[in-house]
Structure 1
Amino acid sequence: MSIKVLVVDDSALIREVLVRMLTRDSDIVVVGTAVDPIDAREKIKQLNPDVVTLDIEMPNMNGLAFLEKLMRLRPTPVVMVSTLTRKGANETLLALELGAVDFVAKPSVDLTGGLEAFGAGLRDKIRAAARSDVRGNSARADAPKVAVRTAAAPEGAVIAIGASTGGVEAIRAVLTQMPVDCPPVVIAQHMPAGFTNRFAARLDELCALTVVEAEDRMPLRPGHAYVARGDYHLRVERSSGQLKCRLTHDELESGHRPSADVLFESVAKTVGPMAVGAILTGMGRDGARGLKLMRDAGAYTVGQSQSSALVYGMPRVAFEEGAVVEQAPVEAIAARLANALGKLKSAA
C-alpha cells in the first residue's frame, strides 16, 4: 500500500521540490497539492491523505491555526516544513506541541548539493508519520500524570534520555514531572542544528528543572538538564573529579548526530550502575545498543510502551534486544526513574 501525501505550501517552487523529492520512491504517492489552508481543507476531504506536509507561513490562515483545527476535528499525521530561523524554530516547537509528528527544515534555493539528503530524510519522516498513532496521541494527552515528589539520588548519579520522532512531547512529559532535587539529566533528541537551543529554552520555561543546550566541558549539576546540540554528539565524561558534557562532531552513529547510542554508551562507561536511562518514541534502532550497555553496567533502564509511543520503533528494538528492565507509558516514566534513583539512595 502506497502512502498518500498532500503537500501544502504557498510557494510553487517549494511545492515542486517537495513533490519531486517525495515521488523518488514508489511507496509514496503525492495525491495533491494545496496553496493555503482553505485549499488544503477541501483537498483533505476529497483525497483523504495518509500524511500532510504543512508550511507555517501561508496566506488566508496561519499554518499553526490550521494544524490546531485539523488535530481537533480530523487527526491526521502532519510533517511541518520549517524555516531555519529563530521564529521558525519557535513556531515548529509549537506545532509539535499541537500534534505535528515531525518537521523538516525548508530547502533553500541553493541547496543543490544537499537536496538528495534532504529528500531521503523527508521520505523517512513521511514513512514514520504514516505509521504514527496521532489519534491515540491526542487521547493520551489527557492521561493522568503520576506525581513525583522526590528524585533525590547519591552524588554522581545521572539520568540519560534518548528519543526521536515524537520525542519533543515525550521528553516534555517526562521532564515536567521531574522535581528539582533530581540528578543531572542528559538528553539526545534527534533534531537538526538551529532547533535544539529553542527546544531547551522551551523546556526550561515549562519545567522545574533548569534546562540548557549542552556546551562542551559544561559541568553536570543536579536539578539541571542538558540537551545535545543539533549536529553534535553529546557524551558524559569525568575530568578533574567532575562529570561534564563533551560535545564532538565525529561521524554519524546509527545514522544520527546527536545519537542516543553515543550518549548511552558514554554513560555506561562513565557512570555505570549510578545511572538510570529511558528510551522514548522514535523511528529506527538508535539507542538500543547503548542502552543495553547501560543495563549491562548495572543501570536501571525503561522503554516507552507501545500504547503511549507516537512511533514505537526505538523502544521496540531496545525491548527486543533486552536493553530495558521494563516498559512503561510515558506519563509513568518519571516516577519509574525516581523510584530507581530512590533505591540508589537507600543503598548508598
Structure 2
Amino acid sequence: MSIKVLVVDDSALIREVLSRTLGKDGDIVVVGTAEDPIDARSKVKDLNPDVVTLDIEMPNMNGLQFLDKLMRLHPLPVVMVSTLTTKGASETLLALELGAVDFVAKPNASLSGGLDAFGENLRQKVRAAAHSDVKGRALKAPTAKVPVRTAAAPNGALIAIGASTGGVEAIRVVLSQMPPDCPPIVIAQHMPAGFTSRFAGRLDELTELKVVEAEDRMPLLAGHAYVARGDFHLRVERSSGQLKCRVTQDELMSGHRPSVDVLFESVAKTVGPMAVGAILTGMGRDGARGLKLMREAGAYTVGQSQASALVYGMPRVAFEEGAVIEQAPVEGIAARLAAALTRLKSAA
C-alpha cells in the first residue's frame, strides 16, 4: 500500500520539488500540499495522510507551533524540512523534542550529492516515518525520571551509544539519567553535517554531563560525552596509554557516515570487556555487527526494546543476530549501563 504524504511549505517551488521527488519510486503518493499551518490543519483532517513533511518558517503560524498542536491533538509522523543554518539546526532539534520523527536539510545549490541524493534521503526518511510508532509514543504515560546515583567505573571503561531515527530524543533520555562520575561516552547518531554541533550543545544544556562534538585526537574524559560529527566517522583509539577520539572521513560504512558499526568495532578492538554499549531506535541494520563484536570481546550490550523504540529496526537486527545481552525500555537503559559498570568496578 502506498504511503500518503501531505507536503507543508510556504514556497510553491519547494512544494513542487518535494512532491515530484517523493513520487519518484511509486510507493509514496503526495495526496496534497499546504502553504501554511492553517491550510495544513484542514487538509490533515480531510486527507488523513500517513506522513507530513513540514517546514519551520511559515506565515500565520510557524512550523514548531503547528507541530506542537498536531502532536497533542492528532499525532502523526512528521519529517521536518530544515535549513542548514545555526538557527535552523536549533529549531530542528526542538522539533524532534516536540515529536517530529526525523528531518532532512532543505535542498540548495551547495547540497552535497545534488537533488538526487536529497530525494533518496527524503524518501528513506518518509518510509521510516511511516513505520514509526508516533501514536503509541504519544499514548504512553510519561515515566518518572529516576536518575542513576552513580556510574563509577575503573579507569579505561567506556560507554558507547548508537542510534538513528528517533535517536535524538532517546539519547537525551539516556544521558539525562547518567551522573557526572560516569566514564566517557561516545555517540554515533545518524545526522548530517551542520547539525551535530548544535545537537551536542543541546545535550550539554539538558544533562549533567559535558557534551561536545568529537574532534580528532581529543582525549576521552570521565563525565564527558562525545558526539560523532556529521559526515565523519568516530572511532576510539588508545594513544600514550589514554583513550582518544579518531575523527576521519573515509568511505561510508553500512550506508552511513558516521556509522555506528565503525564506532562499535573500534570500541570492541580498543576497549574490549571494559566497555558497555547500547543500540537505540533507528531504521536499518547499522550497529548490529559492531555491537556483536563488542559482546564477543566481553562487553555488556543492551538494545532498546520494541515497545519504547520509535523505529524498531536497528535494535531488532542487533537482537536477532545475538548482539545484545538484554533489551530494555529507553528509560531503563542508563540503569542497565550503570549496573554493568558497577560490576566492572567490583571485579577490578
Amino acid at match of 2:3: I
- The equivalent of 1:333 in structure 2 is 333
Structure 1 stretches of at least 4 aligned residues deviating more than 4 Å after TM superposition: 109-113
Deviations for 1:319-347, whole angstroms, at most 9, x for unmatched residues? 00000000000000000000000000000
Q: Which moved more, 1:84-93 or 1:100-109?
A: 100-109
Contact 1:162–1:260 under 8 Å retained in 2: yes
Amino acid at match of 1:316: R
Contact 2:147–2:176 under 8 Å retained in 1: no
Change (3 A) 1:112 1:334: closer
- The equivalent of 1:310 in structure 2 is 310
TM-superposed CA distance for 1:147, in Å, is: 3.3
TM-superposed CA distance for 1:146, in Å, is: 3.8
TM-superposed CA distance for 1:139, in Å, is: 3.4
Counterparts of 1:333 and 1:190 in 2: how far apart (Å)? 20
Flag structure 2 segments of 5+ consecutive residues without an equivalent.
none
Counterparts of 1:278 and 1:93 in 2: how far apart (Å)? 22
Amino acid at match of 1:300: Y
Change (3 A) 1:134 1:186: same
- The equivalent of 2:209 in structure 1 is 209
Pairing of 1:235-274 with structure 2 (within 5 A): 235-274=235-274
- The equivalent of 2:275 in structure 1 is 275
Secondary structure class of the residue paired with 2:31: strand
The reply to whether residue 75 of structure 1 matches residue 75 of structure 2 is yes
TM-superposed CA distance for 1:136, in Å, is: 1.8
Q: Which moved more, 1:290-299 or 1:20-29?
A: 20-29
Contact 2:147–2:178 under 8 Å retained in 1: no
Contact 1:146–1:335 under 8 Å retained in 2: no
Deviations for 1:222-262, whole angstroms, at most 9, x for unmatched residues? 00000000000000000111100000000000000000000
Contact 1:291–1:318 under 8 Å retained in 2: yes
Contact 2:211–2:225 under 8 Å retained in 1: yes
Contact 1:154–1:345 under 8 Å retained in 2: yes
TM-superposed CA distance for 1:143, in Å, is: 1.8
- The equivalent of 2:232 in structure 1 is 232
Counterparts of 2:315 and 2:292 in 1: how far apart (Å)? 12
- The equivalent of 2:122 in structure 1 is 122
Secondary structure class of the residue paired with 1:319: helix
Change (3 A) 1:258 1:112: closer
TM-superposed CA distance for 1:145, in Å, is: 3.1
Deviations for 1:181-222, whole angstroms, at most 9, x for unmatched residues? 000000000000000000000000011010000000000000
TM-superposed CA distance for 1:138, in Å, is: 2.2
Deviations for 1:301-330, whole angstroms, at most 9, x for unmatched residues? 000000000000000000000000000000
TM-superposed CA distance for 1:159, in Å, is: 0.1
Secondary structure class of the residue paired with 1:95: helix
Amino acid at match of 1:209: L
Amino acid at match of 1:148: V
Secondary structure class of the residue paired with 2:336: helix
Secondary structure class of the residue paired with 1:49: coil
- The equivalent of 2:5 in structure 1 is 5
Counterparts of 1:250 and 1:146 in 2: how far apart (Å)? 40
Pairing of 1:123-202 with structure 2 (within 5 A): 123-140=123-140, 142-202=142-202
Counterparts of 1:107 and 1:248 in 2: how far apart (Å)? 25
Q: Which moved more, 1:299-308 or 1:16-25?
A: 16-25
Deviations for 1:117-154, whole angstroms, at most 9, x for unmatched residues? 11011000000000001122223461233431100000
Overall identity of the aligned pairs, in %? 83
- Count, aligned residues: 348
- The equivalent of 1:21 in structure 2 is 21
TM-score, scaled relative to structure 2: 0.99
Counterparts of 1:82 and 1:247 in 2: how far apart (Å)? 26
Contact 1:56–1:64 under 8 Å retained in 2: yes
Secondary structure class of the residue paired with 2:302: strand
Deviations for 1:262-317, whole angstroms, at most 9, x for unmatched residues? 00000000000000000000000000000000000000000000000000000000
Counterparts of 2:144 and 2:165 in 1: how far apart (Å)? 23
Change (3 A) 1:296 1:110: closer
Counterparts of 2:58 and 2:241 in 1: how far apart (Å)? 53
Amino acid at match of 1:52: V
Flag structure 1 segments of 5+ consecutive residues without an equivalent.
none
